[in-house]
Structure 1
Amino acid sequence: MQLTDSHAHLYSTQFEADRAEALARATAAGVRTILLPNIDHTSIEPMLALEAQAPTNCHAMMGLHPCSVTKDFEQQLYEVESWLSRRPFVGIGECGIDLYWDKSMLAEQQQALRIQLELARHHRQPIVLHTRNAFAETAALVQEAQDGTLRGVFHCFSGSLAEAEQAIALGFKLGIGGVVTFKNGGLDKVLPNIGLEHLLLETDCPYLAPVPYRGRRNEPAYLPLVLHRVAELLGQDPAAVAAATTANAAALFSL
């Protein structure tokens, strides 16, 4: 089986000591393609360095994470725009709204997302959405921007069936990660009602490691644990889920 990790921060400093080994472990586990969402101006250099080191496996995106949105976010988005005009990326992101840590920057996060949604439309690129404690706020802006060409993924989806259906109605995929393996993650009540054609697999490493590694550093080699739980919930063969989610990622990100 070949898998695509559609969201992995493998360039993170948490992998400084064993990044090459982590990449080798991923390949051994069948994870042949790893998509790298950007965070902010500080992550661009290490992200592109990893892509250069493993160009057949790792593919970079460009965007500004909502937790990195500050009062000067427009300056950071100028840099995002500059990079998008200089070379190809597989997507716009990671961007969105995060109201878990701090609600004081909501207006700035909303404006930063509006700009990045417009960049996704302009460059005809898929957009990767972060929606922690902010699904409704994010979906409202996607709805506002949707002109029939906008596409992407609600990354790290852990919402309700109604939210899943709303995301799909907007023309978006659902990124399923380690939360699907959590006892009280809630996705056991959602995924059996969702068609496989709407799903991508991801780790969001180094965060949200699946059971039995929960609480430790996550890495792409753990993606098969997500795969097998998704297959179990859908009542399908893991090989079929692997093939479908890999094909979904390839189509969405033009891999």
Structure 2
Amino acid sequence: MIDTHAHIYATEFDNDRDEVVQRARAAGIEHILLPNIDLESIEPMLATEAAYPEMCRSMMGLHPCYVDGDVEQTLKTIYSWFDKHNFIAVGEIGIDLYWDKTYRAEQEHAFITQLNWAKELNLPVVIHTRDSIEETLALLKGEQDGNLSGVFHCFGGNLDEAKAINDLGFHLGLGGVSTFKNSGMDKVIPELDLNWVILETDCPYLAPVPHRGKRNEPAYTELVLKRIADVRAMSKQQILDITTQNAKSLFRL
């Protein structure tokens, strides 16, 4: 399995990161992909990748929740990192209209800027959409010239949204939300095109059932895999093979 979205460099893991990685290995996790969020996360993320080079791979980007009035300078610094390190994706980028809409214009500017980096650098993008799938799709449509690929991470939308995302050539990242009873995903997952599905945790957030409300970790990817297999009436091995191949192909692992 590949956990395509994990913040194991976060302070929540400072006391037991080794054990977390060992549990991931024991659960059959082959790679853990690390999305960047802001300027402060770069150093711990790269240190985590350096500590577990055979498992962890980093991305570089500015998360929409960390966009502010100084976005131009921040983007300049983030972009400079692509010359210093080999990143597997531009991420985590996107639009977040859940917490605060103050910097919506700046979020949109940062998103489009980073989409253009992805085209220039020939890298996939990892997209965060909280209360913003429609808005994000509209912006992405304007930029998709056949040279953009990536994933809408933490997908919890409806079938029409899933189809619109796939039609633009983008994958769906399924994580803990897929296991929540009230998410409605038990109706959506059976209808998804599995060729566009990859697995993730978004740890330390959104732990799957039965750990909901607790700290999430990469080993729990298996619970997401099991949930998809159950609602699709397929074997875990079938889902594992398809989603792992999708992730390897998207991120060129």
Scaled by the length of structure 2, the TM-score of the pair is 0.99
Among candidates 187, 198, 216, match of residue 196 of structure 2: 198
- Following the alignment from structure 2 to structure 1, what is the Cα–Cα distance between the partners of residues 233 and 133? 28
- Following the alignment from structure 1 to structure 2, what is the Cα–Cα distance between the partners of residues 134 and 200? 20
- Following the alignment from structure 1 to structure 2, what is the Cα–Cα distance between the partners of residues 187 and 161? 9
Tell me, yes or no, if structure 1 residue 211 matches structure 2 residue 209.
yes
1:212 aligned partner, one-letter code: P
- Following the alignment from structure 1 to structure 2, what is the Cα–Cα distance between the partners of residues 193 and 182? 17
- SS of 2:96's partner is coil
**Within-5 A mapping of 1:3-14:** 3-14=1-12
- Cα offset, 1:236, TM superposition: 1.1
1:27 aligned partner, one-letter code: R
- Cα offset, 1:85, TM superposition: 2.0
Q: Which residue of 2 aligns with 1:65?
A: 63
- Cα offset, 1:180, TM superposition: 0.6
- SS of 1:94's partner is strand
- Following the alignment from structure 1 to structure 2, what is the Cα–Cα distance between the partners of residues 236 and 124? 34
1:34 aligned partner, one-letter code: I
- Following the alignment from structure 1 to structure 2, what is the Cα–Cα distance between the partners of residues 6 and 130? 13
- Cα offset, 1:118, TM superposition: 0.3
- SS of 1:8's partner is coil
Q: Return 5+ residue gaps in structure 1 as ranges.
A: none
**RMSD of equivalent CA atoms:** 0.7
- Following the alignment from structure 1 to structure 2, what is the Cα–Cα distance between the partners of residues 154 and 130? 6
Tell me, yes or no, if structure 1 residue 24 matches structure 2 residue 25.
no
Tell me, yes or no, if structure 1 residue 175 matches structure 2 residue 168.
no
Among candidates 221, 232, 249, match of residue 251 of structure 1: 249
- Following the alignment from structure 1 to structure 2, what is the Cα–Cα distance between the partners of residues 203 and 212? 14
- Following the alignment from structure 1 to structure 2, what is the Cα–Cα distance between the partners of residues 234 and 196? 10
Tell me, yes or no, if structure 1 residue 134 matches structure 2 residue 132.
yes
- Give the length in aligned residue pairs: 253
Deviant stretches of 4+, over 3 Å:
none
- Cα offset, 1:204, TM superposition: 0.1
- SS of 1:31's partner is coil
- Cα offset, 1:87, TM superposition: 2.1
Residues 195-233 of structure 1: CA distance to partner in whole angstroms, max 9, x if unpaired? 211100000000000000000000001110000001112
- Following the alignment from structure 1 to structure 2, what is the Cα–Cα distance between the partners of residues 53 and 243? 27
- SS of 1:191's partner is helix
1:178 aligned partner, one-letter code: G
- Cα offset, 1:12, TM superposition: 0.3
- Following the alignment from structure 1 to structure 2, what is the Cα–Cα distance between the partners of residues 233 and 84? 40
- Following the alignment from structure 2 to structure 1, what is the Cα–Cα distance between the partners of residues 146 and 232? 29
- Following the alignment from structure 1 to structure 2, what is the Cα–Cα distance between the partners of residues 231 and 76? 41
Q: Which residue of 1 aligns with 2:99?
A: 101
- Following the alignment from structure 1 to structure 2, what is the Cα–Cα distance between the partners of residues 196 and 228? 14
Among candidates 203, 218, 221, match of residue 220 of structure 1: 218
- Cα offset, 1:14, TM superposition: 0.2
Residues 109-141 of structure 1: CA distance to partner in whole angstroms, max 9, x if unpaired? 000000000001110100000000000111111
Scaled by the length of structure 1, the TM-score of the pair is 0.98
Q: Which residue of 2 aligns with 1:56?
A: 54
Among candidates 146, 149, 165, match of residue 147 of structure 2: 149
- Following the alignment from structure 1 to structure 2, what is the Cα–Cα distance between the partners of residues 233 and 129? 25
Q: Return 5+ residue gaps in structure 2 as ranges.
A: none
Among candidates 160, 178, 181, match of residue 162 of structure 1: 160
Q: Which residue of 2 aligns with 1:78?
A: 76
- Following the alignment from structure 2 to structure 1, what is the Cα–Cα distance between the partners of residues 7 and 205? 9
- Following the alignment from structure 1 to structure 2, what is the Cα–Cα distance between the partners of residues 204 and 87? 23
Q: Which residue of 1 aligns with 2:230?
A: 232
- Following the alignment from structure 2 to structure 1, what is the Cα–Cα distance between the partners of residues 192 and 224? 16
- SS of 2:30's partner is strand
Among candidates 111, 114, 123, match of residue 113 of structure 1: 111
- SS of 1:184's partner is helix
2:152 aligned partner, one-letter code: F
